Each structure stands twice: as structure tokens, then as C-alpha cells.
Structure 1
Amino acid sequence: MSAVYAFTRADAATALLLGTEAVSFEALRQEVEERKARLAGLPPGVAILRAHRSRAFIASFLALYEAGIPLAVFAPEWTSTEVEVRRKGLGCCFELNESLTSGWRSVSGVTQHHPDTALVLFTSGSTGAPRAVQLSRRNIEANVAAVLASLDFAAAPMQTLFLPLSYSFGLLGQLLPALSAGLPTTLLGNLVELKALLEEGKLVGMISGVPSHYEALLRLLGAGPEGTQGVTHVVSAGAALSLPLRQRLLQAFPASRIYTNYGQTELSPRVLCLRSDHPAFLSSATGFPVGTLAVKLTGEGELCVRGEQVMLGYLGAPEATREKVEDGWLRTGDIAELGPDGLVTLLGRNDDLLKVGGERLSPFEIEAALRELPGVEDAAVWGQEDPLYGTTLTAFLQLRPSSSCPAKRELRQTLRGSLSPHKIPTEFYRVEQLPRTSNGKLQRARLVEALQPEQRIN
């Protein structure tokens, strides 16, 4: 493994753009070296940094990484309760501010982390309690190499990034590959700033987000592709990219290549990628394995992954690690189909698959059909226990602003054109917003909260 990570250049070319501030690779390198010189005398344990979208965080992150000090990244918006839970999970740890001055320190002196731990990131918690994922330099640098190749970073003039840097997609999937490729990165705070760049015709190169980001962006953009001609790469990950959304992105960004991706924090995180110039893009296919990763299916159809990107393990949870990783194969928890050419199509979480009339159904197919209904912006489906049928399907529809909601009879009639009868939901509810994590992942278990009589569509 290389002694110094990230830079293929150390010249006056721009590395970061934050508002009106431009930071060159040379200036960033100098700042990283200065911060590394301040690290002597740090207490033992895992260092904690808050992932502010700032020059100081990026320089501090790189300094700790290059110095070999294990680092846990915390989201700035976490509540005190969320912070406390994660601190306890780290064992011996201490927190640093952006100047790398030590502040809070744990009482426990017990070291729990793996000796090769370079970075600890926390899972989103969309399927249960968040876990502390330990990643090594080998994991991270293998992921960077895979992302550089699969996303064609060399063909992008720059990237614009508004994803949170506490999130593996933003930090490991986009920022570090750009730094490694010598690609300038503009850091934005939100979609509104991105829209402003589009309107001014100043958005150039690569953009990245989760599907819910693109739904919101397309709504902000309106009809035509004006201002999008400079965009060369549109990268989606974090959740399934539906076929209707793939088609809309192709229309909105005609000069760009669209990439749909799948990953997990436990896999550093990128696993699968599919480009819009592949014939399977306009289907439900998810992608091909990136880098040197190998995939296989269990007898039950669960996707398993092996390779250099498989995590070291969950910090402080050896039993959970053994359940997740066996003989080098990481069980993703996702049910999939694997084509003879290696193309993977995800069908849903193993605990999300719906059993109706004895048949296991993927919610993805049903949700894709629901999103095609007139006026529907987003949709989710949930299975409810039924003594007669085993499970009945309930649909939750998030409508576009000012859209009227058809009657249930009309919705079911429209769906007959795209779904078999047993796949058509029995009940429909209107929701203002589907429950999602901050990273855009659907929190399916929370759909039950929307079962309010006044929101039912009759």
C-alpha cells in the first residue's frame, strides 16, 4: 500500500471549490502536511471528526488517514443521543475539531478496533440499528480504483458534489476518487445551489446523488434540458434507480452518460455499476461487479460479494460480523438474479420480499408500475398480514404538486395494463412524503405510520 494517498498532482491546478474559495492541489497538500505535523501526542483509540463540507474537514481527514490514525466520521447533524450511541460503540475514542485539537475523550481505555482499521463509517440504519463498519486502507483504495474505472472519471472535466461527506457514497465514492484523479470538485450545500448553476449554464462535468435527489432536481428543472449540456456524467446510487427515472434522466441530460450503481458501506461501498450506453440500462437491471469483486447467489437467491473491498468487520460486534461474512463472502441481504454475462438485477431485500398467494414478489417491480401512474412522483408498497390471502398489498403514493388523486378503482384498472392481478395493491394511501433516511433509502418499516383513515384513497 502506498505511503501517501490521494494525489496524482501537487501543482497549482484547482482541487476544491467552496463558494468563492478555490483551493489548489498544492495548497491542499501543504495543509495536509501541516496538520500531520500536529498529530504527535494524540491519545490512543479512534479519532472522531465531524464531516463538515469544508476545506478543514477534508485536510484533516487526509492528514489522519496518511498518518495511519484510525478515524470515525460523524455527521454534523446527528443529535446528542445519536452521537452518544456511536461513541459508546467505538470503545476507546476521542474527538478532534477541524483544527485537530483534542476535546471530548472516552472514559473507557479498552481498544476494540481492528489493528488495520483506517476508517469507521456507520450504516444508515434503514434496516435496523446502525453499525460501525471498519474499513482498511486496502478496502478504500481498492474502491477508489474500481470507481475511477467504472465511472470513467478520466472523461469528466470536474465534478459537483452536494452529497454529505459522512456518507460512504459522497466521501469514498465521489470525493476521494476525484482527488485521486486530479479532478476539481465543487462542494455545494443543496439542490437549490445546483439548480442555480444549471440556470446560469455553469454546471459542468459530473454530478452525483440518490434517486430522490434526482426526482427533486427534475421537478425544479421543469420540462426542457436547457442548461444541462455541460453535464457529462450523472451518477446515481444509494437506492434503486427506477426505469421511469432512468428514462427521464436521459431526456433531461441528453449530452450526459447516466450511471446507476449499487453498494453497501460494508463494501467500501461500490459493488455494481451500469452505464446508459449498455443495452440493459433501459430495464430493471442493476449492474456489473466493479473492480476485482466477485459475486454469487445463495440457494435462496441472496447476493454475496467477495474481494478486496469487503470490510474488516463491525467494530465491537464480532458475532454480527460472522453472520455477515463467511469464508470471505459478504452476504448483502439483497435478493437478486444473476445473468450468464454477470449482470445482476436486484429484486429486493430478503426481508422485504412479499409472499402473496404462495409466490414471492419483489416490491421493486410493483413500485416501478406505481410510479408510472398519472401524477405520481414516488411510491412504495407494503405487505399486510391477511388471514385469507397470507399478505395483501398496500400502496403509498407521493403525488406531484397540484396533482389530483384518481379513485382506487381507476388506479387498479390502470395497473392491470402492467401488473398481474395478484401484484395489484388492494389498498392505496396518499402521503406527503415517503419515509426515507437522510441518504434517500426507503424506510419500509415506517410505512405503517401512514395508515391513517384520512389518507386512504377510496
Structure 2
Amino acid sequence: MKDLFLAAGGCHYTYEQLLKDVGSRGKKCSRIFVKGNEPYQIFVSVVHSLWLDYPVELLDGDFSEEELNKMGIQSADLQPSLIDRRSEHPPSYEDVTALLRPKNWTLSLYTSGTTGRPKKVTHRYDALTRQVKTGSRWENQVWGFAYNPTHMAGLQVFFQAFNNKNPMIYAFGEEQKQLPDLIDHYQITHLSATATYYRNIFPRLQSKVYPGVKRVTFGGEGFDERLSEKMKQTFPHAQIRNVYASTEAGSVFAGNGRTFTLSSSTKDLVKINEHQELLIHHSLVGALENAADVGEWLNTGDVVQEIGENQFVFVSRNSDFINVGGYRVNPLEVEAVLTAVPGVEDAVVKGKKNSVTGNLLTAELVKAADAEEDQVKEAVRKHAADTLQPWKVPRMLTFVEEIRKTRTGKKVRE
């Protein structure tokens, strides 16, 4: 564990190795594109850019050639170039962290592209790290994270860990099945993932208690209160946190549970419009390709509900609502009802086009291994009919082994 920087894919990388690899690079990659999103290579490139203070674009390694072309990026644009200066010795950790107020460095990310062509957003260092905490209190943390390292949530974990010389344990993709062993072996103290990830992995976790985990962070999706209560049984000493972040604005605020409370420094930079959509002031937002279309306030597309002074809860993405016979149905509300049925581990609710009602609701269910399919289906139908208004009850139920996810680990709803 001493000096460990990253454990990923069965490999271990120390901070000493990281800095040696950074110092040995004779070329710079202004566009970081790593097939398969191998986290170590991505983080080496990010640290290299910080050390030499040059701007970079971080591309999802899963982007297809067609997607890259639509973004105006050709294969020749991904080739590294010779650097103007190169140190004879690799930098020390202190050399790099002393430069963490870079003048020229920016990092550009791309939105996931689920609603069209991915859009570029460029951030400065101070904006990306506004929520990073440093000092003796944060020195001995061990971060287990389950995010794509090319997206905002993965970068947030990287900057928090790197600034405190903490180890990171990668548990995304196939490695999520190993999470219980990873927690024990590396003595993970902090976990960060989406609610979908926690639902998928919870059956592997629930047979044990992990007293060493001090914080469990939810991000990227709506908060799941029922799942949170289960997590408290498995992680009895953990604080449950819910982070609101986006590619455009970075990490904006965090809450205990589903409630977000605006601080004195952010309350005037956030507002809710007449459609209950969350707006964020442009001063918190990175430089956008189409900045002229944003104006003073960025519409996040997230529907929220005010519950008190400077307090709100996330309801759903506006684009996720499903029109059923003129009623707007929030799929998260329906999914919460379905997953309350014993034997249902996860669910995703979608709309199926219908000539009469516009859409019919359908649901894909993941059942527990020891549950009988017919019994679960009957119980789901009854509970949904007893709990939900008629237009919110799914008309078709399908069992699946696993719910499909986007590049960022969220449920695919289309």
C-alpha cells in the first residue's frame, strides 16, 4: 500500500512509477485518446500536461471513428508532438504539486453525446478542483471509484486523491465484480459510483459488513433512498453523500442523502425556473463551444423540487420524462416502486411508442438469483397497481440479466 497511486486491472502503479513515466515522455499529447479508457495511461497524460503546463483535450476511448469525425477530429490529430523542453530527471511529487496553479493549462471534456454530437467544454484547474479538500484530515484516504476516467466524476476522484497522495482503486466495468475483495485487500475508506453501480454490486456486498469504509458517495443519477438505507447496513460507519456534478459545471454541490443545501457562496449562482429546471450561473460553467447560446444561465435540463430555503431535491432529467396519454411520467418514481418489491434487484422504465397514448410504459427487471420469475412478475404487477396511478403502471415487464448502461455508467433509457 505504501506509495500506491492506482490499482487497476490486476496491475499496481506507485506514485514513484507515475512520476518516472511522466518524466520519461518526450512527446506531449494535446488530445488524450486511450482505447478502452485504461486509467493509468490517461492519468499519466493528465499529470504530464499539468507538469509542463499545456492544455489538453480528454476524449472517451469508446468514441467511434464516426463520432470523432463529427467532432472534427481526424486520426492525425491524435498523434503526439515533440515537447519544447524536457527535464533530464523525472519530477518529484512536490515538483508537480507546486505547479498546481497552472497558467496555460486547461482540460477539455466532451459531453456523452446521448442527445446528439458530443460537445466540448473547457475547464481551468481552479474550477475543476473547487470541491477538492487537502490537508492532514484527508491524507489517509483510499479511494475506490467506478467511473469512466475520461468523464467528470472520474476526474473528480483523481484530483481529490492526487492532491493528497491517496491510492485509487479502479472498480469499473468487469472489475466491479471484485469490489468486495478490493475493499478488504486495499482497505478502501471511500467509495464513489452511480446508484446503478451500487444496485448491481449490492448482492455481492450484503453478506458482509465493512466497518472501515468511511464515506459512500452517489453521483451521476437520481439518489436512491431505499438503496441508501441498505448501504448503511453494509457500511455502518460510512457517511452517505450525494454529489451533483456535470460536464459543463464540474462538481457544484453535495448533500447528505437526497437533499441538496446551497451554501452562502453558491446560493446566488443557482436558480430554478418556472418549469422547475435547475439553472447554473455562467461563472460556474466551463467554456462551451456554443457559449453564445447559453447566456448568463445554463439550463442543466434537470428537474428539481424546492423543499425549503436554499434546499432542493433532484427529480429527474427533463429528457427522461415519458409522455403517456398527456401525463408526464417520471421513470425514476416508477423504478423506485418496482425495486421495492422483494426479488427485484434493479429496474429501468422506458416508453414504447403507441398510436393512442403516445407511449406505453415498459419495464426491464433484474431479479435476484433465488427468485422465481413468475412470482416476481405477479408481485410487481400487484404492487405497481396498488401504489401508482394507472398511467404510471408499466404494461410490459421483461426480465434481463443486466440493464444496459451508457459510457458514464448510467442506465440506457432509449
Q: Same fold (TM over 0.5)?
A: yes
Which residue of structure 2 lines up, in the alignment, with residue 392 of structure 1? Answer: 360
1:157 matched to 2:130: no
1:99-118 matched pairs, under 5 angstroms: 118=106
Q: Out of 223, 229, 233, which is 2:207 matched to?
A: 223
CA contact (8 A) 2:70 2:117 kept: no
For residues 359-412 of structure 1, the C-alpha deviation after alignment (integer angstroms, 9 at most, x for no partner) is 433221111101112321211222345455454322222223342224766433
Q: Per the alignment, do residues 57 and 396 of structure 1 end up closer, same or farther by CA in structure 2, a change over 3 Å counting?
A: closer
Q: Per the alignment, do residues 182 and 444 of structure 1 end up closer, same or farther by CA in structure 2, a change over 3 Å counting?
A: same
Counterpart of 2:53, as a letter, is G
Which residue of structure 1 lines up, in the alignment, with residue 229 of structure 2? Answer: 247
Rounded to whole Å, the distance in 2 between the matches of 1:424 and 1:176 is 43
TM-score (norm 1): 0.73
Question: CA-atom RMSD, angstroms?
Answer: 3.5
CA contact (8 A) 1:60 1:100 kept: no
Which residue of structure 1 lines up, in the alignment, with residue 14 of structure 2? Answer: 23
Counterpart of 1:236, as a letter, is F
Once structures 1 and 2 are overlaid, which stretch shifts more, 259-268 or 352-361? 352-361
1:52-131 matched pairs, under 5 angstroms: 52-54=38-40, 57-86=42-71, 88-89=72-73, 93-96=77-80, 118-131=106-119
1:427 matched to 2:396: yes
Counterpart of 1:62, as a letter, is V
Which residue of structure 1 lines up, in the alignment, with residue 93 of structure 2? Answer: none
1:438 matched to 2:407: yes
CA contact (8 A) 1:153 1:178 kept: no
Rounded to whole Å, the distance in 2 between the matches of 1:208 and 1:30 is 28
Counterpart of 2:342, as a letter, is P
Which residue of structure 2 lines up, in the alignment, with residue 104 of structure 1? Answer: none
CA contact (8 A) 1:384 1:391 kept: yes
CA contact (8 A) 1:211 1:440 kept: no
Q: Per the alignment, do residues 69 and 405 of structure 1 end up closer, same or farther by CA in structure 2, a change over 3 Å counting?
A: same
CA contact (8 A) 1:375 1:400 kept: yes
Which blocks of at least 5 consecutive residues in structure 1 are unaligned? 1-12, 102-114, 276-280, 446-458
1:182-193 matched pairs, under 5 angstroms: 182-187=165-170, 190-193=175-178
Which residue of structure 1 lines up, in the alignment, with residue 87 of structure 2? Answer: none
Shift of 1:310: 0.4
TM-score (norm 2): 0.80
Rounded to whole Å, the distance in 2 between the matches of 1:240 and 1:437 is 15
1:284-299 matched pairs, under 5 angstroms: 285-289=258-262, 292-293=265-266, 294-299=269-274
Which residue of structure 1 lines up, in the alignment, with residue 279 of structure 2? Answer: 304
CA contact (8 A) 1:303 1:332 kept: yes
Counterpart of 2:38, as a letter, is H
Q: Per the alignment, do residues 96 and 267 of structure 1 end up closer, same or farther by CA in structure 2, a change over 3 Å counting?
A: same
Rounded to whole Å, the distance in 1 between the matches of 2:260 and 2:76 is 39
Rounded to whole Å, the distance in 2 between the matches of 1:302 and 1:394 is 26
Which residue of structure 2 lines up, in the alignment, with residue 450 of structure 1? Answer: none
Shift of 1:85: 4.4
Counterpart of 1:95, as a letter, is Q
Q: Out of 322, 332, 343, which is 1:364 matched to?
A: 332
For residues 258-282 of structure 1, the C-alpha deviation after alignment (integer angstroms, 9 at most, x for no partner) is 21223211112x234222xxxxx3x
Rounded to whole Å, the distance in 2 between the matches of 1:299 and 1:334 is 13
Q: Per the alignment, do residues 199 and 63 of structure 1 end up closer, same or farther by CA in structure 2, a change over 3 Å counting?
A: closer
Q: Per the alignment, do residues 126 and 441 of structure 1 end up closer, same or farther by CA in structure 2, a change over 3 Å counting?
A: farther
1:14 matched to 2:3: yes
SS at match of 2:284: coil
1:337 matched to 2:319: no
Q: Per the alignment, do residues 383 and 272 of structure 1 end up closer, same or farther by CA in structure 2, a change over 3 Å counting?
A: farther
SS at match of 1:183: coil
Shift of 1:58: 2.5
Which blocks of at least 5 consecutive residues in structure 2 are unaligned? 85-102
Q: How many residues in Structure 1 have an aligned counterpart in Structure 2?
A: 386
Rounded to whole Å, the distance in 2 between the matches of 1:341 and 1:252 is 33
Rounded to whole Å, the distance in 2 between the matches of 1:100 and 1:373 is 59
Q: Out of 139, 143, 146, which is 2:127 matched to?
A: 139
Which residue of structure 1 lines up, in the alignment, with residue 161 of structure 2? Answer: 178
Q: Per the alignment, do residues 191 and 352 of structure 1 end up closer, same or farther by CA in structure 2, a change over 3 Å counting?
A: closer
Q: Out of 281, 288, 297, which is 1:313 matched to?
A: 288
Which residue of structure 2 lines up, in the alignment, with residue 454 of structure 1? Answer: none
CA contact (8 A) 2:139 2:166 kept: no
Rounded to whole Å, the distance in 2 between the matches of 1:438 and 1:153 is 33
Rounded to whole Å, the distance in 2 between the matches of 1:359 and 1:133 is 34
| Structure 1 outlier segments of 4+, above 6 Å | none
Counterpart of 1:23, as a letter, is T
Rounded to whole Å, the distance in 1 between the matches of 2:38 and 2:315 is 35
Rounded to whole Å, the distance in 1 between the matches of 2:237 and 2:302 is 33
Shift of 1:84: 4.6
